[in-house]
A and B are shown apart, each in its own frame.
Chain A
């Protein structure tokens, strides 16, 4: 690159510095987390930023407990999520994130670079994190010179690569409330190892016997589904039909539709959605069952 095209680069040492660097920022300002997406995009000239704010030195890492919730720094990488998944109950939010992190392809380089906050902010519909955050009922803490606000995951993801984050805001932390989940199930369905996910589903069995289910990758944004407990098993065609209806309704409510792309058309995504949800629910039920037997 020649001098006049070189974007302004800053690597603030803390959150305050990031917030200051972003003051008055516009769409041309690009935040760099792990850089796994934005750096290749810049290399190919698809993203030409006027300013770069590198979060690499700003801290924003670490996992702590806070008022019935687990708070994860936005710069926490997948490897750290995997390492944090010890001695937690099967219903703990980190168990779901660790499950998702375990399926991140690209090897140690990506697991050590890619971050939870980066993936959320990038909002690629075909990725694990958005759907998981919706399933977890996560709140995304956005900081700017105007202060800090929290946005529920459902409202954060507006569409493909579009979020509620304003150009002068940085995603600082993700708040994962400890709900009534007994166990998590997660299924990422891909056409082959190298493909983007085509449909993902995260499911929790709740203390009252109900389910909480989210669907990712199927549409341009993740959605939560209303799914009844499968009394005749997850293979029951009648229950599968309810799941399919629930998915269609959830997408319609959010003004979204099944994605039609180079990997799979919308019909295919619609057809496998109840299958993938059923498998995620099946996993959650098994987890809850194991816990039940462990207690007994």
Chain B
């Protein structure tokens, strides 16, 4: 495949067509949720809990209600009578987990600092916020627990009094005989790894504008969200409005990364406030509110056994995942994927992964790019490096010896994933060559002589994509309508939505290619439940796999009709649609597609007689490889495709301050066929940088009272341009046999591998000190602490 990120071409599949809305975005013309301002709009502010665990005694709304400009104050008590609990995006009961009712406002108790307890509607945003500050809440404060391991202790405070303990889900994964394999291993290495609590921090926070029309009895909800159809269903369930009276519209979205998956309390809340106020009500999340959403925090205690040649024979991992409080959003379920993504792309048939998802009095998890898969790579890649170090082997060599070989696919892992395809040896070769791995090893030797600490880190990242979770709205298929008008213009209505990454451009490329018309003829409409077919939005790298696949099927239907009628017009037996014309393959003539479209729709009793006069098709696409029938071990297979990549990082560590500088970085990436290489690279860069942030600087920090302290971008440190070197990006294309175009999901790969590669590189740099890296983020204070601890262990 010769696709490159600079070959813009004519916008066919595989070419790097420019993002269709690029000019609009760059010139500030794009319309986001806060730009939607119907006349008479009122503004909402949320009153949030200031304590981490308490019974609510009383909510005092009087002062807030008396403030000029206040329209209404809604308490949890009243909201309970008006709205049902929020249905879960992934129901815990289906997964064998515990559940609690999640309400838009908590009437009786709070379990984290920041939980919504009341809401105010006023004539301005500032007025609503001022009134919200005047709402006082009396609490009976209870003891709280902020640490997941502490929460597992028998005497720990209980997050939910009605539960016997704080465990949300306890489950084991894996097959084989890991204990026996460990016993017969030549070396056994144990390790601990802790990942910090991070957040997604899109540039645009969440926001909704609800408008209840009392006369029409309809609810229109504009939102910055990922899943308009699920949101419509959820609003119907909580507010008792028939789904066909609810319209959800997604404007341009300024990044989602999982945060804007449906299920958060404010969704029902804003709609309810509009019904009560009888006016459009808008709520735009404050950045401090956005920082409440957590992700990734886990503790792993793992044991890995290997033969003396570096072949890994067994992996045992015990995961404690800190869910924070429960959420109806998908976030609570992420740690499941940390367990099932182990042992990644390595041939380790004997595995046992024991997972405990634990509730604490921290704000809930929100879904976050990587969806837990990233944490698996941290552990697996640390395990591989620990084996290499114990055996005195180069980490690259140990990886080569353990990768699943490209002739072994499809390969079923110990945890049940059926990896469709890949070439991990090829990726390692590309990444190390791109970085100049050997040259960096030489530099590392030279630098050590002069007291400088350079380290190299490698990581494989296997990213299961386009998931389907049985009985949930995590759906492995989607639906698209392709419609051609009498003038040949094409409207694509699809159930997948774009968080801003540009899948609309990719879908347009697929439709243009499959239909045989220029890209400019195609317009893609997303995120409107009244216009688009039933669909599931964006998550899990699904948009090009199932949005693209269903668009291709629908486009082919329209193309067939064009070819049939076009051939009649040409007087030939068969015709093709190419570059906007129906052409005789023998070269006898061509007729422009608009003329054919006009004929189909205006001469249906003449040249188009016997042809159903419709240039429109709605199709759903289900990729292969998903199988929810449990096998003999009870394993299901929820993913059609598995993207893969290998990361190679070179770092310099300042051993006096602990600061890590990323000196060089390469990523070899394989998402099968690339529909648009420029969009793939944009996603991959973003995912790598998100991983680098989690590896080095991003961390939600909580006070002892449970309040989020890192609630600004000066204290929650996202990488800036100067923190990140230019990433060397290499592509490998191993098409998936299970998807329409051989493409695999893209967009998540990078988050986990970047964290793992940096962790490995920092340990490599500090090996003269005997440092073992057991955590991310590796902030300067954390690195200095690791050096200090290693020195203590060497010289007690």
| Chain A residues with a Cβ under 8 A of chain B | 1-2, 45, 105, 189, 191-196, 198, 262-265, 268, 271-272, 275-276
B558 to chain A, nearest CB (A): 48
User: CA–CA, A192 to B720, complex, Å?
Assistant: 8
**Chain A residue with the shortest CB-CB distance to B654:** A275
A192-B697, A192-B719, A195-B715 are known contacts; what are 20 more A-B pairs with Cβ within 8 Å? A1-B124, A2-B69, A45-B126, A105-B720, A191-B659, A193-B721, A193-B723, A194-B714, A194-B718, A194-B723, A195-B697, A195-B717, A196-B715, A198-B780, A262-B701, A262-B709, A264-B780, A272-B656, A272-B780, A275-B657
User: Which A residues touch B718, using CB under 8 A?
Assistant: 194
| B656 and A191 within 8 A (CB) | no
| A191 and B717 within 8 A (CB) | yes
Question: Out of B710, B721, B722, which one reaches A262, CB within 8 Å?
Answer: B710
Question: Out of B656, B719, B720, which one reaches A275, CB within 8 Å?
Answer: B656
User: Which B residues touch A105, using CB under 8 A?
Assistant: 720
| A193 and B780 within 8 A (CB) | no
| Chain B residues with a Cβ under 8 A of chain A | 68-69, 124, 126-127, 129-130, 656-657, 659, 696-697, 701, 709-710, 713-715, 717-723, 779-781, 784
| A45 and B129 within 8 A (CB) | yes
B43 to chain A, nearest CB (A): 13
| B720 and A265 within 8 A (CB) | no
User: Which B residues touch A193, using CB under 8 A?
Assistant: 719-723
Question: Out of B68, B697, B719, B784, which one reaches A271, CB within 8 Å?
Answer: B784
User: Which B residues touch A198, using CB under 8 A?
Assistant: 780
User: Which A residues touch B69, using CB under 8 A?
Assistant: 2
User: Which B residues touch A275, using CB under 8 A?
Assistant: 656-657
| B781 and A265 within 8 A (CB) | yes
Known: A105-B720, A194-B718. A268 touches B713 (CB 8 A): no
User: CA–CA, A196 to B784, complex, Å?
Assistant: 19
User: Which residue, of A191, A194, A263, A271, has the highest number of chain B Cβ atoms within 10 A?
Assistant: A194
**Chain B residue with the shortest CB-CB distance to A265:** B781
B92 to chain A, nearest CB (A): 33
Q: List 5 A-B residue pairs with CB atoms under 8 Å apart, sorted by A's residue number.
A: A45-B130, A191-B781, A192-B697, A194-B718, A195-B717
B124 to chain A, nearest CB (A): 8
User: CA–CA, A265 to B780, complex, Å?
Assistant: 11
User: CA–CA, A273 to B721, complex, Å?
Assistant: 26
| B780 and A196 within 8 A (CB) | no
A117 to chain B, nearest CB (A): 22
Task: Label chain B's interface by main secondary structure.
Answer: loop
User: Which B residues touch A272, using CB under 8 A?
Assistant: 656-657, 780, 784
User: Which residue, of A1, A189, A193, A198, has the highest number of chain B Cβ atoms within 10 A?
Assistant: A193
User: Which A residues touch B124, using CB under 8 A?
Assistant: 1-2
Known: A45-B130, A275-B657. A194 touches B717 (CB 8 A): yes
Known: A45-B129, A45-B130. A263 touches B784 (CB 8 A): no
User: Which B residues touch A276, using CB under 8 A?
Assistant: 657
User: Which A residues touch B723, using CB under 8 A?
Assistant: 192-194
The 10 closest A-B pairs by CB, nearest first: A193-B720, A192-B697, A268-B781, A192-B717, A275-B656, A193-B722, A262-B709, A262-B715, A193-B723, A262-B701
A278 to chain B, nearest CB (A): 9
User: CA–CA, A100 to B358, complex, Å?
Assistant: 47
User: CA–CA, A191 to B714, complex, Å?
Assistant: 10
User: Which A residues touch B127, using CB under 8 A?
Assistant: 2
User: Which A residues touch B657, using CB under 8 A?
Assistant: 189, 272, 275-276
User: Which B residues touch A1, using CB under 8 A?
Assistant: 124, 126
A282 to chain B, nearest CB (A): 12
User: CA–CA, A276 to B713, complex, Å?
Assistant: 24
A164 to chain B, nearest CB (A): 26
B694 to chain A, nearest CB (A): 12
Known: A196-B714, A268-B784, A275-B656. A2 touches B68 (CB 8 A): yes
User: CA–CA, A45 to B129, complex, Å?
Assistant: 9
Question: Out of B697, B722, B780, which one reaches A268, CB within 8 Å?
Answer: B780
A218 to chain B, nearest CB (A): 13
| B781 and A264 within 8 A (CB) | yes
**Chain A residue with the shortest CB-CB distance to B723:** A193
User: CA–CA, A2 to B124, complex, Å?
Assistant: 9
User: Which A residues touch B784, using CB under 8 A?
Assistant: 268, 271-272
**Chain A residue with the shortest CB-CB distance to B655:** A275
**Chain A residue with the shortest CB-CB distance to B711:** A262
User: Which A residues touch B129, using CB under 8 A?
Assistant: 45
**Chain A residue with the shortest CB-CB distance to B130:** A45
User: CA–CA, A192 to B709, complex, Å?
Assistant: 18
User: CA–CA, A246 to B498, complex, Å?
Assistant: 57
A160 to chain B, nearest CB (A): 14
User: Which B residues touch A192, using CB under 8 A?
Assistant: 696-697, 717, 719-720, 723
User: CA–CA, A234 to B200, complex, Å?
Assistant: 42
| B781 and A194 within 8 A (CB) | no
**Chain A residue with the shortest CB-CB distance to B288:** A44
A135 to chain B, nearest CB (A): 21
| A194 and B126 within 8 A (CB) | no
User: Which B residues touch A45, using CB under 8 A?
Assistant: 126, 129-130
B301 to chain A, nearest CB (A): 26
User: CA–CA, A2 to B780, complex, Å?
Assistant: 46
User: CA–CA, A189 to B784, complex, Å?
Assistant: 14
User: Which B residues touch A194, using CB under 8 A?
Assistant: 697, 713-714, 717-720, 723
**Chain A residue with the shortest CB-CB distance to B287:** A44
| B126 and A191 within 8 A (CB) | no
User: CA–CA, A196 to B68, complex, Å?
Assistant: 39
**Chain A residue with the shortest CB-CB distance to B720:** A193
Question: Out of A2, A189, A191, A265, which one reaches B697, CB within 8 Å?
Answer: A191
**Chain B residue with the shortest CB-CB distance to A44:** B286
B662 to chain A, nearest CB (A): 11
User: CA–CA, A1 to B709, complex, Å?
Assistant: 28
User: CA–CA, A198 to B126, complex, Å?
Assistant: 33
User: Which B residues touch A195, using CB under 8 A?
Assistant: 697, 714-715, 717
